[in-house]
Structure 1
């Protein structure tokens, strides 16, 4: 590890105990104040450090945001697991959970339904976001200006309005799919869940009939995770109890 990176990480670690002055930061990494100032200014430019009005430095919003997103991606699979299992049992098709990572879909979980043909699991695999229903749901949940190609803007706006997406040729394969977002704190899309099936066995219109089940599950996962979706579909299909949210302390 380079000396500068080591010093920057040491400063960030020390800020976990609370704000520090320039002198304190320099002392903790054993350098002159001018060196510490250069490091702090660089970290501040990237949002990892914030300089307060009293001239002390604290952890910046960028670092807290990244940490929050990392935690969400790690534990959303555990929170969603029982709801996905129930959905798979009820619909008999393959159900999936995915997040958006580095502009691609990353599959966190997949359960094959009782009527699903055997195929390799997608868990841990990546896929183009624009070529999948679950990817378009995730892109539609991004803030304005971050969703990707301008050509997709109208389509993503439609996905955002209706609250789901459908695809009849996932990954250029004969797979049909419907997907819906999972909301985290502040209503932000943190993941998406989907139902998929071979197009030669299940017509898109048949899969679309399962949308109420899928939307119910997505909102149940959101509520269990501590998010705040607008309950539209949870009518005891998935056992959701909006008044009893999971604690994440």
Structure 2
């Protein structure tokens, strides 16, 4: 393999763990900054990376485009597909399957609602973790050190008047998500749209994806949306079991811990 290609792939692999500065990338690769900068410029020209206003590099749109083309090969998407289809047929609302990439989620599957209201989301689209139910679910499951790295890259920009824009408030929200086992977006990412989400776990117990259902207020109130929680949690448990997850039963409560 060409040495330059190898170094470029190392850069992409490092950015897969989260954004990084030029100095951090040079240190991780053990090469001079000028070499890394040359590779970064080439990768940026092809949209494999981009640099934010804080001079930190992120994975770019080309990575997500290639990722979306390989979605049918993703095991969790294939496993989840029939379960999401059944859920969508029963409840008739927009249903997403998402994964975490750095400080954002990426929609890896979407089933449209059965009414005349369509949401702007699409497969391959990214959304912030701090304003989405799926994002809350996925980052709440991260180990403390990994969570700190992800949140260091979150701008907490307001998408609506309800968006959580304070890091401490978001940490408190994540505590609620961990305690209840699901996430809630109360018109935080889109005005007049509420969402609930729950995690899909693999054999290790790690949350590898999130299933969410999103509904505009004109179709269903937030209170009525919460009535779908039992069905949503049943779906994510079934998908998780097919992904190899086996819950630890809390004998004092007779349900998964």
Q: TM exceeds 0.5?
A: yes
Match of 2:244 among 198, 219, 226: 226
Q: Is the alpha carbon distance of 1:192 and 1:4 closer, same or farther for their aligned partners in structure 2, counting shifts above 3 Å?
A: same
Q: Is the alpha carbon distance of 1:78 and 1:231 closer, same or farther for their aligned partners in structure 2, counting shifts above 3 Å?
A: farther
Q: Work out whether 1:185 is the aligned partner of 2:203.
A: yes
Deviation by residue 1:3-35 (Cα, 9 ceiling, x = unmatched) = 3655999xxxxxxxxxxxxxxxxxxxxxxxxxx
For the aligned residues, what is the CA RMSD? 2.9
Partner of residue 13, structure 1:
none
Detail structure 1 runs of 4+ shifted over 6 Å in the superposition: none
Q: CA deviation at 1:133?
A: 0.7
Partner of residue 139, structure 1:
139
Match of 2:182 among 155, 161, 164: 164
Verify the 8 A CA contact 1:108 1:124 in the aligned structure 2: yes
Q: Work out whether 1:204 is the aligned partner of 2:226.
A: no
Ranges in structure 1 where 5+ consecutive residues have no aligned partner: 10-40, 43-69, 233-249
Partner of residue 46, structure 2:
none
Verify the 8 A CA contact 1:134 1:193 in the aligned structure 2: yes
Question: Following the alignment from structure 1 to structure 2, what is the Cα–Cα distance between the partners of residues 134 and 220?
Answer: 18
Match of 2:172 among 150, 154, 162: 154
Q: How many residues align?
A: 174
Q: What TM-score do the two structures reach when normalised by structure 2?
A: 0.60
Q: Is the alpha carbon distance of 1:192 and 1:231 closer, same or farther for their aligned partners in structure 2, counting shifts above 3 Å?
A: farther
Q: Is the alpha carbon distance of 1:170 and 1:155 closer, same or farther for their aligned partners in structure 2, counting shifts above 3 Å?
A: closer
Q: Is the alpha carbon distance of 1:112 and 1:144 closer, same or farther for their aligned partners in structure 2, counting shifts above 3 Å?
A: same
Deviation by residue 1:132-178 (Cα, 9 ceiling, x = unmatched) = 11110011111123222652222111101100011121423321111
Tell me the secondary structure at the aligned position of residue 79 of structure 2.
helix
Partner of residue 84, structure 2:
84
The one of the two structures with greater contact order (alpha-carbon pairs below 8 A, sep at least 6) is 2
Q: What TM-score do the two structures reach when normalised by structure 1?
A: 0.62
Partner of residue 114, structure 2:
114
Q: Which has the larger radius of gyration?
A: 1
Q: CA deviation at 1:2?
A: 5.2
